[in-house]
Structure 1
Amino acid sequence: MLLYGFGAVAQSKGGGGGGKDSTPDAFEFVDQTGVALNTTITSDPITITGIDTGSSIGISGGSYSRNGGSFTSKKGTAYNGDNIRVRLTSANTYDTTKSTTLTVGGVSGTFTVITLSDTLNTTPDAFSFTQQTDVALNSTITSEPITVTGINAPAPISVSGGAYAINSGGFTSAQGSVKAGDQVRAQVQSSDTHNTTTSATVTIGGVSGSFSVTTSAFITDTTPDAFSFTAQSDVEPGSTVTSNAITVTGINAPTPISISGGLYSVNNGTFVATAGEAHVNDSVRVRLLASTEHDVTTSATLTIGGVSASFNVTTKLNSNGAFLMPPASPGNPSFESEHFSGSNNCTMCHNNLTDENGQDASIETDWSSTMMANSARDPLWKAKVRSELNRNPHLADVINDKCTRCHAPMANFEARKKGEPLEILDNGFLNADHPRHNEALNGVSCTVCHQIKNSPDLGTLSKFSGQYDIDGSKTIYGPYDDLFPNPMIMNTGYTPVYSEHVKSSKLCGTCHNLKTPFVDESGTILSTTPESEFPEQMPYSEWEHSDFASVTPRSCQQCHMSRVNGVPISNRPMWLQRRDDFALHEFVGGNKLMLDIFNNNKEQLGILSNNFEETLQKTQDQLNKSATIETVTQSLANNTLDFTLKINAQTGHKLPSAYPSRRVVLHVTVKDAQGKVVFESGKINPNGSIEGVDADMDRTTFEPHYDLITSPDQVQVYEAIMGDSTDQVTYTLLRGAQYLKDNRLLPKGFNKATAPNDIKVVGDALTDANFVGGSDQIRYQIGGLSGNSYSVEAELVHQPLAYSFAQDLFVEPDAEVQDFKTMFNASTQKTSRIVLHTFSVSK
């Protein structure tokens, strides 16, 4: 209701005079009927408008509230824009009207409520649901809502043939009650046959309405959706090659299937060449015999219902081992520069050392066969630099600087100090004629690590990504005190001193935490600060977030540099005391692939060391210590083998860690009592690909994280998958803006709920309750097994370079890439076993 007055208005709205206006625009409340007896009833809010100063407010017969405040009946002041609600208590008799009147600045509005009738009415007005046709088969179909009207008391509601929901509640088939104004929806399951009607009938207070749905008419469709096979390259000549599986979709009736140039298999059946019949959701694979010649493409074409796709297979290049580039220069490790000295200058005093058992502990010898010593000879690094330059040539300065700070740190440091241009390939550091060539080829050498200062911010973002501090004092920081420094000072000009920081992980963090800028598809840099850059490699931060940093302290050096006792830190003077807890400079990691490539391509890569066999064995030993497998549960019942494995990580960082090409795969094989393989998940091929892994068949996809595995095409792969700024998989480092998946095994004590963004768990592993710091559990359920006993082999393997990562790189035609491809293909160390766990299960 709307009332004007309680007296004359001083002047009409909009009149002249220029004074303050305290008379609001007219307002009104929405009356309510059928309300409960003796109940507090609150109006909808009204908004005060049309005033530019405070205006008096008062009420009769009730109370009011301003802007959600307490209700009051006292006079007050209202302002433009105030939200006002009023309330009163309804009458305690039926069909009785009560009102309250609000007055603001002389303008009034009345809120009226009428109690419900003394005659209860539970029979609603008639209602009906809109029928639906052409619905999908065997689907849950929900109606549009109807509103209950015509009752003044709760009415019973029931349903037959389906379910109903009241307002936003859940669907139910149980009896209930509704009140006036409630909205009701019906739900019914459509038929599993075409052109068939099913109904649900809702009854409210004796009045019924039916909701009917009719399935679509049957139209035969034997033309499937388009499908495609992922081409495979680099295959062995004369080998049998199997495609990825495609799923037949888009048909509703059997359709012809045939092949030319190969064989096909439906639903893991026998491979055949004869024409047959395919059905919707069939899984189809193609198999062909690769050419016996090199660099030849062979095809098989599959046709289903008139739609065709070819599976193309190309055999290897460079089968004779020929390289496109001439052998590389090894550099001169006896160089001297303004700030650095080559590793060969250290050998006179720091080789020919032995421990208390007479075992060799020579520093330079151990170091010479490490990744650090050969960081600038690394053919994968050179190939990847070329690829990144090809894909973002306008960022050459960024690439050449970022990639040499830790792979060729001495050349980078001296060039930046002198204001010289930074270039790696072509006429750059790796060219034997370049003035910084020797500094570059000596890799991460003695006088780099031992000259890094203990800056106050060492171990923080400002010192990551190769931002170490080295000055011109030629101070060599070491782990021992009580030194006799004169021989080093006199022979080299460097002064040895003791400093605790060379034993700390934060020293390693200068290069082993690496953040990189990232760009969009047009090459525009999107990252704006070091914080916002992509966390390409973060082992140090992973360690910081683990028990290894605090609860059970163990530094990087303690894990990657084994210890011996009774070693003099120099072979001269002869009387120098022997030291305990001597760290062997073996810097052992898990990259057997690259060590094998170094060892087998010494001349081509300019390798000087002959110590790789020892380092390869130490690397295998390190891998063997990095994880264990145990059986948590096992059973064989109802023709189903059911077991749960627990993978225990033993590393102080994620496993695998650092460069995002690395992956760890769980390979599980089940054999029957006769030794026949009845199930295999994660089978490893000689070329490094893994059967069933999505990315190895289609590089735009990746294998999800699993908590339960039931089929061979599901494989547990612990890895980090890079994503670009459009959320697509990328293998280009400068496109890496995020991780789409990171389920790498976590070190003990790693809390995934509190991990910083740079090292967070990404994907399904984040919500996997069994994926925790130090371990992961995976359940296997394998049906269709009628035998009485089975043996299980669970093998955890490490691959430094995932097949999909390698194939993305190998599309580049450049010599650096193709030469690395030749080395990669020839290596037998693409995959290394970490641990093998076996057990048997019987009924």
Structure 2
Amino acid sequence: MAGLLMAAGPATQAAESQHRAIPSYCANAKSSGLPLPTSLPQDDYESRLKAFVKDRRYVNLGWCVDKETAGNLVRDTGPFIDGVYYGTHPAVRVYYSPEAMAWITGNRESPMPDGAIIVKEMFPPPAARYEGLSEDEVVDKLSNWTVMVRDAAGAKDGWYWAEFSRSGDQAHNEPLVHLNYPDAGFGQYCVRCHASAKHQSTFSTTRNIKGFPGEPIRYRVDDSWREGAVAAPHVHEPKNTQRGSHRMAGHGLSEFGKAPPRLGSPNPEFIALFSPGRFPKDAPLQLLPKETGDRVVAPGKGKPGFVTSDQCMSCHGGLNSQGLSGPNLFIALSPEYGDGYNLSHYGEWRWSPMGLAGRDPIFHAQLDSEISLLEKQFSSDPEKGKTYVRHLENLCFSCHAPMGQRQLSRDAETLDLDPLFKREYLFLTEDHRDDPYYKYGALGRDGVSCALCHSARSDKFASADIGKLRAYLTEVTTGRLPRGELGEIYGPLKEDDIAAEPMKNALGLTPKHDPFIKSSRLCGSCHTVNLPNVDQPIPPDQRTMLDDLPNDALFRPFKHTIEQATYLEWLNSAYQDEYPEFNKTPQHAQSCQGCHMPEGFTSADGKIHVQRLQGRIASVQDHTHPEADHLVEADGINVRYREEGISRHKFRGLNATLLMMFEQFNGMLGVRKDDFMTGAKGLSQALEGYVQQARDNTVDLEVQAAFDGANSLTVDVDVTNKAGHRFPSGVGFRRAFLELLVVEDGVDGERTLWSSGRTNTVGAIVDGDGNVLPTEFFDRDADGKEQYQPHHEVISRQDQVQIYEELIQDTKGDFTTSFIRRHKHVKDNRLLPLGWQLRGPFPDRYAELEYYIEATHPGQDAIRDPDYTDGKGRDRIRYEISLPEGTDPDKVSVRATLFYQSIPPYWLRQRFETAPHMPATQRLYYIASHLNLDGTLLEDWKLRLASVTAKPSR
């Protein structure tokens, strides 16, 4: 088999570099007459090219064509053995335009002329099916075409790629949204193989072309394809043949869900709780543009910039096939195509909150509220208000649409562009490609994408010097990730261990080694967020910390607080590995990547366990593929098989609510639910991973219960944080809460005797009678004071609940979820990590880092709780419970459960009350009110983390 897959040797390639005469039968071939792709709108050019190809006009124009061999007009592109086809394409017959032929027969090192076209007619493999058939009989079997049109201005690889089916087009008639992968365009996944060509991304060779000497490339084909072949195994055929053997080679095509403008009936309990009268019933919903428009390719000319993830997907998206190149970074569960786990870099990143950051409906509703509050604050000076809104949008999108925001900022230095990123750019669809800001919107919708992190590097902020830590916190956090050299891309592998040529050819990027990619400071850029309190300016004579504030001059005169401190929490824990000499428990040291990018995999049901992923980190055409001429030398394209060192890109926390919204409203939010390259159910598998994360990696619970008398029960619950930072962490409105139930077994089942922390079906915490607690929405008491749950050490009533959360008040003294009105910390009892210290990891340097270390401190109640602050990452709560008279102690059990809510009810209500007139809020209200969580991991709007049941002692 190995001999069948080897490429042509240097002698063959050298011989073909000589100039040759074009054969007489096609010497007078005519050009296509088509304009260049860059000269027309995408849809216009695609329709013209499609008509040209489907009418087979290239035949009438007299183009050169592949030679006939042994009475067969069709040739294979790989072996067919034991029922499996190993071709890079299906069986083909290729036609070459006169411009292409001039290059093929001339100097291959010169640029291919624009307008050159190569058309592959494709047939179900193997070619042996067509032996002895006439021209008309062969054409009758033609299933589809792939086409290459040379236009060097369109992309770095220089080609417009297209695929058209003869039997019918891919459906373009969905009433709301079309989410299939595009049939044509620049930067298509075809470069996965073609980037390995030595010149101009084509392997075209004269020995395959009619009229030239030499035998065409041939491959072994056995008889297993024949009907009735003895002991022939089942031939795996793709469900959808529109992509032919591309499907066999690891390119999937899925049926994608879509959401109609209005879907079913809303949840009546949700409606009752969240003020439905604020929202117009028939208002049109704002849809996110479909992800097929999130395409920014490497430019054909000029300086390289950010590219979207679909440009990385081709090589780093995993493969699922029984034939060529697969499976790779894919665990197949059955022969059914797409049935399995796609563990590739792109495949898991796609369904992480990072991959969805630009489309996140929760974030967009938060931004609506911030804008609405700013407009109200500056109602007497609307122009000033607009200025603050513009700067705030730009600041927020430095983390949520970072490639668009940063590329725009860079381009505005030399182009006539406004450097501040606007949210409206995200809604520029493919119909707005001529808008100068379209590209930035497409980059922005792609979220915290591949090219962002892999373009970051930093020598200046190396970890070894504490002084450099302060510089890092001052200059890099709040979404200011340092960017490396243009034209370079960075990863953890050494340069002599990287197959660099495909990436250079496809994207104009040279992969380099840089250790910063493995540093937690890479993550800390967006997970240490220092924001202004816009209604609390600092008097000029007190502005002593301006050097530590974000670099937007408009916000510098305001008091700032650290809204998100995940990196700092990790730094002040037993897990930090940047300063090992200060870590007293080095056995726990682990970077952010160590937890969120593991090398192993275990399925949620525990049936599949892989200690370390093995495979190739990229899938390109190399010397393990079928024979082809004009490949790059082996060292430049050989992606070696790795038995260790492959890190998953799952980036998973606990925001399962976000993924559930994308699961049920993917059409409204503009994304596929399945993976294109492998066909895997990527979104639903990511949700399975959240169950696993919650169960295995978040908290431990211990319960001890004892009767003090006939009806008096004492319960101690220990909650231990297993995360490498506070829990919850991230944005401040996340919360976790303890539900404690005392139940009695009876003839008719279990009866609840006492409870703390139960919820209704929409996640609001209720008392023993089922009434929503006044603390859930900060209802005011008789004195007009907003009520909340403090940090409890002892709980004795059913309206008392231990909630781990951060609560903030604004300058008016009202509880707020605004990120830019964080005046006063009223409560912060989020569970501290193991190894937390009051003066931080460097007590002798505390004064130098005080502003940042204080961001890891608990609030005023929790800091006085000795077991909470002892550095063991735990909290103990005592429940003192009086049970009803006549309770049988032998039938009593105690059940403690910790639940998590990424968006608590009070956060939702503040969104709906603050900006009901704004489109992202209306979209979130519609999604949330129609979200069906029955029977899911988020039933009753809460995620279960851990649960323990105990029998009380007597």
Query: How high is the TM-score relative to the length of structure 1?
Result: 0.60
What SS is found at the alignment partner of 1:598? helix
Q: 1:679 aligns with which of 735, 743, 754?
A: 754
| Equivalent residue, structure 2, for 1:194 | none
Q: 1:566 aligns with which of 591, 614, 620?
A: 614
- How far, CA to CA, are the matches of 2:804 and 2:614 in structure 1? 40
- How far, CA to CA, are the matches of 2:840 and 2:345 in structure 1? 40
What SS is found at the alignment partner of 1:519? strand
| Equivalent residue, structure 2, for 1:763 | 860
| Equivalent residue, structure 1, for 2:929 | 825
Q: 1:495 aligns with which of 503, 510, 520?
A: 510
| Equivalent residue, structure 2, for 1:168 | none
Within the alignment, does 1:806 sit opposite 2:788 as a pair?
no
- How far, CA to CA, are the matches of 1:356 and 1:400 in structure 2? 39
State the shift of 1:689 in Å.
1.2
What SS is found at the alignment partner of 1:497? strand
Q: Which amino acid aligns with 1:802?
A: P
Aligned-pair identity in percent equals 25
- How far, CA to CA, are the matches of 1:601 and 1:515 in structure 2? 32
Q: Which amino acid aligns with 1:484?
A: A
Deviations, residues 682-739 of structure 1 (Å, cap 9, x unaligned) = 1112222112554314254321000000010000000011222355422222111342
- How far, CA to CA, are the matches of 1:238 and 1:362 in structure 2? 41
Within the alignment, does 1:411 sit opposite 2:404 as a pair?
yes
Within the alignment, does 1:463 sit opposite 2:476 as a pair?
yes
Q: Which amino acid aligns with 1:613?
A: S
Within the alignment, does 1:619 sit opposite 2:690 as a pair?
yes
State the shift of 1:842 in Å.
4.7
| Equivalent residue, structure 1, for 2:58 | none
State the shift of 1:547 in Å.
0.4
Q: 1:731 aligns with which of 817, 837, 841?
A: 817
Q: 1:429 aligns with which of 422, 426, 431?
A: 426
Query: How high is the TM-score relative to the length of structure 2?
Result: 0.53
Deviations, residues 308-347 of structure 1 (Å, cap 9, x unaligned) = xxxx995588899985224534353331264111111112
Task: Report the CA distance shift for 1:513/1:327 in structure 2 as closer, same or farther (over 3 A).
Answer: closer
State the shift of 1:430 in Å.
3.2
| Equivalent residue, structure 2, for 1:474 | 487
| Equivalent residue, structure 1, for 2:742 | 670
Task: Report the CA distance shift for 1:417/1:803 in structure 2 as closer, same or farther (over 3 A).
Answer: same
| Equivalent residue, structure 1, for 2:378 | none
| Equivalent residue, structure 1, for 2:363 | 381
Q: Which amino acid aligns with 1:447?
A: A
Within the alignment, does 1:698 sit opposite 2:762 as a pair?
no
Q: Which amino acid aligns with 1:823?
A: I
- How far, CA to CA, are the matches of 1:842 and 1:322 in structure 2? 59
What SS is found at the alignment partner of 1:405? helix
Q: Which amino acid aligns with 1:391?
A: L
State the shift of 1:522 in Å.
9.5
Task: Report the CA distance shift for 1:602/1:237 in structure 2 as closer, same or farther (over 3 A).
Answer: closer
What aligned pairs does 1:183-194 form with structure 2 within 5 A after superposition? none
State the shift of 1:770 in Å.
1.6
Question: Does the CA-based 8 Å contact 1:701-1:729 persist in structure 2?
Answer: no
What SS is found at the alignment partner of 1:661? coil
| Equivalent residue, structure 1, for 2:664 | 600
| Equivalent residue, structure 2, for 1:583 | 647
Q: Which has the larger radius of gyration?
A: 1
Task: Report the CA distance shift for 1:753/1:716 in structure 2 as closer, same or farther (over 3 A).
Answer: farther
Q: 1:788 aligns with which of 885, 888, 907?
A: 888
- How far, CA to CA, are the matches of 2:330 and 2:403 in structure 1? 34
Question: Does the CA-based 8 Å contact 1:534-1:738 persist in structure 2?
Answer: no
- How far, CA to CA, are the matches of 1:565 and 1:778 in structure 2? 41
- How far, CA to CA, are the matches of 1:826 and 1:319 in structure 2? 15
Q: 1:652 aligns with which of 724, 740, 748?
A: 724
- How far, CA to CA, are the matches of 1:360 and 1:608 in structure 2? 15
Q: 2:945 aligns with which of 825, 834, 843?
A: 834
What SS is found at the alignment partner of 2:859? coil
- How far, CA to CA, are the matches of 1:770 and 1:666 in structure 2? 17
| Equivalent residue, structure 2, for 1:197 | none
Q: Which amino acid aligns with 2:706?
A: Q
- How far, CA to CA, are the matches of 1:620 and 1:347 in structure 2? 26
Deviations, residues 484-507 of structure 1 (Å, cap 9, x unaligned) = 212211221111122222122111
- How far, CA to CA, are the matches of 2:405 and 2:290 in structure 1? 18
Question: Does the CA-based 8 Å contact 1:648-1:776 persist in structure 2?
Answer: yes
Question: Does the CA-based 8 Å contact 1:331-1:441 persist in structure 2?
Answer: no
Q: 2:589 aligns with which of 538, 547, 553?
A: 553
Task: Report the CA distance shift for 1:361/1:582 in structure 2 as closer, same or farther (over 3 A).
Answer: same
- How far, CA to CA, are the matches of 1:313 and 1:736 in structure 2? 24
Question: Does the CA-based 8 Å contact 1:451-1:474 persist in structure 2?
Answer: no
- How far, CA to CA, are the matches of 1:686 and 1:319 in structure 2? 24
| Equivalent residue, structure 2, for 1:397 | 390
- How far, CA to CA, are the matches of 1:567 and 1:666 in structure 2? 43
Task: Report the CA distance shift for 1:508/1:238 in structure 2 as closer, same or farther (over 3 A).
Answer: closer
What aligned pairs does 1:203-352 form with structure 2 within 5 A after superposition? 314=275, 324-326=285-287, 328-330=289-291, 332-336=293-297, 338-352=304-318
Deviations, residues 2-28 of structure 1 (Å, cap 9, x unaligned) = xxxxxxxxxxxxxxxxxxxxxxxxxxx
| Equivalent residue, structure 2, for 1:142 | none
Question: Does the CA-based 8 Å contact 1:670-1:793 persist in structure 2?
Answer: yes
| Equivalent residue, structure 1, for 2:34 | none
Q: Which amino acid aligns with 1:672?
A: E
What SS is found at the alignment partner of 2:658? helix
Task: Report the CA distance shift for 1:238/1:664 in structure 2 as closer, same or farther (over 3 A).
Answer: closer
Q: Which amino acid aligns with 1:362?
A: S
State the shift of 1:562 in Å.
2.5
- How far, CA to CA, are the matches of 2:426 and 2:666 in structure 1? 19
Task: Report the CA distance shift for 1:583/1:498 in structure 2 as closer, same or farther (over 3 A).
Answer: same
- How far, CA to CA, are the matches of 2:392 and 2:905 in structure 1? 24
Question: Does the CA-based 8 Å contact 1:356-1:565 persist in structure 2?
Answer: no
Deviations, residues 59-95 of structure 1 (Å, cap 9, x unaligned) = xxxxxxxxxxxxxxxxxxxxxxxxxxxxxxxxxxxxx
Question: Does the CA-based 8 Å contact 1:425-1:431 persist in structure 2?
Answer: no
State the shift of 1:757 in Å.
1.2
| Equivalent residue, structure 1, for 2:569 | 542
Note the residue ranges of structure 1 that are not aligned, 5 or more in a row.
1-234, 240-293, 298-311
| Equivalent residue, structure 2, for 1:177 | none
Flag the structure with higher strand content: 1
- How far, CA to CA, are the matches of 1:390 and 1:408 in structure 2? 20
**C-alpha root-mean-square deviation of aligned residues, in Å?**
2.9
What SS is found at the alignment partner of 2:366? helix
| Equivalent residue, structure 2, for 1:135 | none
What SS is found at the alignment partner of 1:520? strand
Q: Which amino acid aligns with 1:560?
A: H
Q: Which amino acid aligns with 2:397?
A: T
State the shift of 1:841 in Å.
1.4
What SS is found at the alignment partner of 2:406? helix
- How far, CA to CA, are the matches of 1:770 and 1:426 in structure 2? 45
What SS is found at the alignment partner of 1:562? coil
State the shift of 1:806 in Å.
1.1
- How far, CA to CA, are the matches of 2:719 and 2:665 in structure 1? 35
- How far, CA to CA, are the matches of 1:739 and 1:666 in structure 2? 22
Question: Does the CA-based 8 Å contact 1:340-1:448 persist in structure 2?
Answer: yes
Q: Which amino acid aligns with 1:618?
A: G
Deviates more, 1:589-598 or 1:718-727: 718-727
